[in-house]
């Protein structure tokens, strides 16, 4: 009551390649204290990550036993090891994730200023102005849809 935007949103999305998804954003779910969770399911497998168990990534292939991958554990990629400060089973958390993000952003800014090369793999992980504008357009489309009783509303991201 009295808020300009809702504390709870269920958003249906459709990407340009036809993939569909659901985004649930809630500050009103009892028992879920800042529980940022991401679940991605496709034709062959699914991934799940939860901020309440940040060291783990669940990987489920259809017809196979679910595997739990541990941050810094066996099979970690070089990039995963680069952004891990502590060995597996030693909690590493929320603040460190932001530290990695800010370090990469600072490295990219320094490279641009000095005329040096920017690592495209690292640059792809740091949002830019276009990403920010897309985020604003996405939220604006969700608010517009809500005002229209949940009518499908396209978020136009083109030039």
Domains of the chain: 1-75 (3.30.360.10), 93-149 (no CATH)
Confirm if 9 and 142 have CB atoms less than 8 A apart: yes
Q: Which residues contact 59 (CB under 8 A, 6 or more apart)?
A: 45, 46, 47, 66, 67, 68, 69
10/150 Cα distance (integer angstroms): 10
In order, the DSSP letters of 77-92 are -HHHHHT--S-TTS--
Local structure of residue 34 (DSSP, 8 states): T
pLDDT at 153: 92
pLDDT tens-digit readout, 120-148: 888 888 888 888 999 999 999 999 998 99
Per-residue model confidence as pLDDT tens digits over 38-94: 999 998 999 999 888 888 999 999 999 999 988 888 878 888 888 887 777 666 767
């Amino acid at each position: 009551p009295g808020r300009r935007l809702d504390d709870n949103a269920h958003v249906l999305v459709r990407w340009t390649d036809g993939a569909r998804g659901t985004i649930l954003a809630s500050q009103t779910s009892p028992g879920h204290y800042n529980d940022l969770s991401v679940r991605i399911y496709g034709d062959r497998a699914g991934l799940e990550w939860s901020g309440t168990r940040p060291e783990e990534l669940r990987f489920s292939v259809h017809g196979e036993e679910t595997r739990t991958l541990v941050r810094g554990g066996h099979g970690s990629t070089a990039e995963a090891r680069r952004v891990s400060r502590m060995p597996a089973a030693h909690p590493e958390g929320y603040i460190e994730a932001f530290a990695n993000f800010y370090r990469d952003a600072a490295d990219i800014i320094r490279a641009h200023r000095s005329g040096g090369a920017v690592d495209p793999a690292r640059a792809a992980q740091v949002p830019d102005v276009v990403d920010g504008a897309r985020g604003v357009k996405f939220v604006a489309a969700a608010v517009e849809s809500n005002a229209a009783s949940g009518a499908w509303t396209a978020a136009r991201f083109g030039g």
